[in-house]
Amino acid sequence: MRSFVAVVDAGRFQDAADDLSITQQAVSKRIATLERTLGVRLFTRTARGARLTVDGQAFLPHARDLLRVEERALASVRPGRRPLRVDVIGRRLAPASVLGGFHRARPEVELDVVTLFDAGAAVEALASGSIDASFRAVDRSRLPGDIGAVRVFDEPVQLLTGPGHPLADATAVTPADLAGHLIWMPGIVAGTEWAAYYETLAAAFGLTIEVTGPGFGTDPLLDTLAGSPSLATFVGELTRLVWPSEQGLRRIAVHDPTPVYPHSLIWRRGNPHAALGDLREHLGAVKQGTGTWTPEWATEAA
Amino acid sequence: MRSFVAVVDAGRFQDAADDLSITQQAVSKRIATLERTLGVRLFTRTARGARLTVDGQAFLPHARDLLRVEERALASVRPGRRPLRVDVIGRRLAPASVLGGFHRARPEVELDVVTLFDAGAAVEALASGSIDASFRAVDRSRLPGDIGAVRVFDEPVQLLTGPGHPLADATAVTPADLAGHLIWMPGIVAGTEWAAYYETLAAAFGLTIEVTGPGFGTDPLLDTLAGSPSLATFVGELTRLVWPSEQGLRRIAVHDPTPVYPHSLIWRRGNPHAALGDLREHLGAVKQGTGTWTPEWATEAA
DNA sequence: TAGCGGCCACAACGTTTCGTTGTGCGGCCC
DNA sequence: GGGCCGCACAACGAAACGTTGTGGCCGCTA
């Protein structure tokens, strides 16, 4: 493939061979193999070099694309001057959306998105340099001194129920209203910062949160939820659900106070990656709302 | 690379090996080679399979991209059900722009753009099936019966001069005004349909068109034009010039009548490619303007 | 805690692929 | 028509690849 593009650019097999530091015969053999694989002739051989056939012309931009993508793939893991690598809590959750907004605003900034286990793993990864930034809810007082943090987004928590749930038709509920109901959150992983968030939330308002084993993915969770008259769960306002439309799930706002999930951007101080400043600048800091609730351990991350 | 994605999807080397119809050891060796090439570890090996590292997560979307691009590259030359392949007279000229408009309107239609020598080559390529459609100025009466043609775009011809040319400050000129001036069009290739167009144009209005040898590309042409007090050339209204801004070139409209270049879409009747109908539908037929001039041989292509 | 099973890595070997050298064939151009 | 330029074919050695066979590590279980 690289030989093909080299021949197109050079116009002659011999010149392409020089560019590739191999012999003309090797280039000839490579092109012949490629043509045999594709089943079409890519060049017309003339006495003055090689010219593209129609098939070759059609193939060329795709070949260039391939080399470009390969270059990007290599760059994504190249130590030093690689794309900005950002950890998000989940690809369908608010941080991913926020990062998408940054990408739309600054499309020239190369990004790679990864998902780590929890905030602790994110801090380790930041310290070791394997990622450049992370969106997590953190207890700022417990962060190492070389890790910076800015609370960038407070996401209201909503109640998610099926159509048969007693609260399904409410326009809004208060945390106190939920005291008698079962909040079902399978797939929650003990020890993670989001588990801690929901535990704190439950304790603060006397809620009952049930965690039945590891989750089997969100789809069966939502299916079960849609068919249950008693189960409800919490979900972030910006969480994108891929519900097959007719599941009839209801998102119900929570007020007085509104629990908000405190997403912070965290990074290692001294990380010289230029795009890191762009990201922080784009995000700014959240304006702390009134009438909201968030765990005390998170409020220090101003 | 394909093995890497297979392992990610399967979660275990052995399962990936089954998918690829090779042995587990071969997969292991491929991954090890890839990791050595990239200089990073892509998987953490556990007793229950292989999980992506952070680097692996960052690398994965690029790897998928690569496979996707490869698939498109293969499709571009696959006989039968390949992308719609359209010939344009030049990548910076009106037909390419029109095709770009179609692509924006129907981004789901896969397109490959090629450039053939002239209308004759395009007709041959249509007949042989190596292309699906072409934008050319054609003499409809001379087309084979199985080649369809619709005049889809009349492009006004403009005069292009440098700032020192006597007509540089004119807002518009008539063809008759040009009789005393030299029209310089290097790079015009005898025997092509666009050479025929300009020859007919010159003959119709008594113009002097000079063709000095093969062109050396458009950039030196425009440089020469910008610095000359006597040279002018014709250019299509939609031709995109990449002039380095400060060349000071002037585009001057031509009126009474306005010569228009009659772009037609031509295709082989009976070509079953579904996208061909989409393209024809998108283009429609040109509404013949008044006060314009075009060669008689082109007017039959109604 | 010892045994077992699942999973991946290492080693050795045969086959295939790749690149090289040497040579042949067919157009242009003078 | 001879010379030259440019690509293809042939033969050979080297490197890469995939296979079989085996070993080590981890987690689960009795």
Q: Which tens digits make up the pLDDT trace of B165-218?
A: 999 899 999 999 998 888 988 878 888 899 899 999 999 999 988 876 655 667
H/E element holding A175? Answer: none
Does the CB of B263 sit below 7 A from strand D?
A: no
**Which tokens in the block code for residue A254?**
């929570």
pLDDT tops 60 at residue A302: no
Question: What per-residue confidence (pLDDT) applies to A180?
Answer: 83
Residue of A nearest to B82 (CA): A58
Q: So what's the pLDDT on residue A301? A: 44
pLDDT at B22 over 90: yes
- Give per-residue burial for A82-119: e unless 16+ CB within 10 Å, then b: bbbbbbbbeeebbbbbbbeebeeeeeeeebbbbbbebb
Residue A214 Cα, gap to closest chain B Cα (Å)? 17
> Is the CB of B69 less than 8 angstroms away from the CB of A79?
no
CA of A225 to C1' of C15 (A): 57
* Average pLDDT for B112-134: 93
| Contact flag, residue A49 CB and nucleic strand D, below 7 A | yes
* pLDDT band with cut points at 50, 70 and 90 for residue B302: very low
CA distance B302 to B291: 17
A61–B112 CB contact, under 8 Å: yes
d(CA B261, CA B153): 8
Confidence of residue A213 (pLDDT cuts 50, 70, 90): low
Q: How many angstroms separate the CA atoms of A48 and B253, rounded?
A: 41
Q: How far apart are CA B284 and CA B27, in angstroms?
A: 53
Compare all CA atoms of chain B with the CA of A62 and give the residue at the minimum distance: B73
Q: Under DSSP, is residue B162 helix (H, G, I), strand (E, B) or coil?
A: coil
Interface A:B, Cβ pairs < 8 A: 88
CB pair distance less than 8 Å for B72 and A54: no
Q: What is the pLDDT of residues B65-77, one digit of tens each?
A: 999 999 999 999 9
**C1' (C9) to CA (B33) span, angstroms:** 13
Decide if A35 contacts A29 (C-beta within 8 A).
no
Any strand D atom closer than 7 Å to B208 CB = no
CATH number of A84-153+264-289: 3.40.190.10
pLDDT band, very low/low/confident/very high, at A98 (cuts 50, 70, 90)? very high
- The model's pLDDT over A114-162, given as tens digits with 9 standing for 90+, comes to 999 899 999 999 999 999 999 999 998 899 999 999 999 999 999 999 8
What are the beta bridge partners of residue B274?
Answer: none
Q: A226-246: per-residue pLDDT in tens?
A: 888 888 999 999 998 876 556
Task: Specify the nucleotide whose C1' lies closest to residue A45 (CA).
Answer: D7
Which pLDDT score is estimated for A182? Answer: 87
Domain boundaries A154-259, corresponding CATH code: 3.40.190.10
- Amino acid B48 CA to nucleotide C1 C1' distance, rounded Å: 22
| Residue predicted with more confidence, B104 or B300 | B104
Using an 8 Å CB-CB cutoff, list chain A residues near B85. 54, 58
Domain segments of chain A as ranges = 2-76, 84-153+264-289, 154-259
Q: For domain A2-76, which architecture applies?
A: Orthogonal Bundle (1.10)
What is the predicted pLDDT for the residue at B298?
84
Q: How far is the CA of B81 from the C1' of C18 (A)?
A: 33
pLDDT digits (tens, 9 = 90+) for B234-257: 999 999 887 655 678 889 999 999
CB contact under 8 A, A38 and B85: no
Q: Per the CB < 8 Å rule, is A73 touching B54?
A: no
Of B58, B115, B130, nearest to A85 by CB-CB distance is B58
Residue B64: predicted pLDDT: 97
- Determine whether the distance from the CB of A25 to the nearest atom of strand C is below 7 Å: yes
- CA dist., res. A24 & res. A115, Å (int): 47
The residues, ordered by sequence, that sit 6+ positions from A234 with a Cβ below 8 Å of its Cβ are: A157, A158, A159, A160, A183, A185, A198, A201
Asked if domains A2-76 and A154-259 share a fold, the reply is no
pLDDT for B62? 96
Measure A38 CA to C25 C1' (Å): 26
When pLDDT is averaged across residues A93-100 and rounded to a whole number, the result is 94
Whether residue A274 has pLDDT greater than 80: yes
A116 φ/ψ angles, rounded to the nearest 5 degrees: -100, 175
User: Are A159 and A249 in contact, with CB atoms under 8 Å apart?
Assistant: no
Nearest nucleotide to A17 (CA to C1') is C19
Whether pLDDT at A272 is above 90: yes
* Residue whose C-alpha is closest to residue A202's, from A173, A172, A234, A238: A234
Does the beta-carbon distance from B69 to A66 stay under 8 Å?
A: yes
Q: Is A130 in Cβ contact with B55 (below 8 Å)?
A: yes
CA–CA min distance B201, chain A (Å): 31
DSSP classification of residue A180: G
The whole-angstrom distance between B44's CA and the closest CA on chain A is 14
Residue A210 has pLDDT above 50, yes or no: yes
Q: What is the pLDDT of residues B175-189, one digit of tens each?
A: 999 988 889 888 788
Q: Answer whether residue B301 shows pLDDT above 60.
A: no
Q: Give yes or no for a cis peptide into A259 (omega within 30° of 0).
A: no
Q: What's the CA gap between B177 and B231, in Å, rounded?
A: 15
CA dist B114 and B132 (Å) reads 11
- The conformation of residue A233, written as its DSSP 8-state character, comes to E
Distance CA A47 to C1' D3 in A: 14
Share of chain A above pLDDT 70, in %: 96
What are A168-202's pLDDT values in tens digits?
899 999 999 998 888 988 778 888 899 899 999 99
The pLDDT value recorded for residue B300 is: 62
* Residue B73 to residue A54, Cβ atoms within 8 A: no
CATH domain B82-302 topology: D-Maltodextrin-Binding Protein; domain 2 (3.40.190)
- pLDDT average, residue stretch B228-233: 88
Give the residue with greater pLDDT, B286 vs B85: B85
Task: Extract the runs of DSSP E, i.e. beta strands, from chain B.
Answer: 43-46, 49-52, 84-87, 111-114, 133-136, 147-161, 172-173, 182-184, 208-210, 232-236, 250-254, 258-268, 292-293
**Contact between the CB of B48 and strand C at under 7 Å:** yes
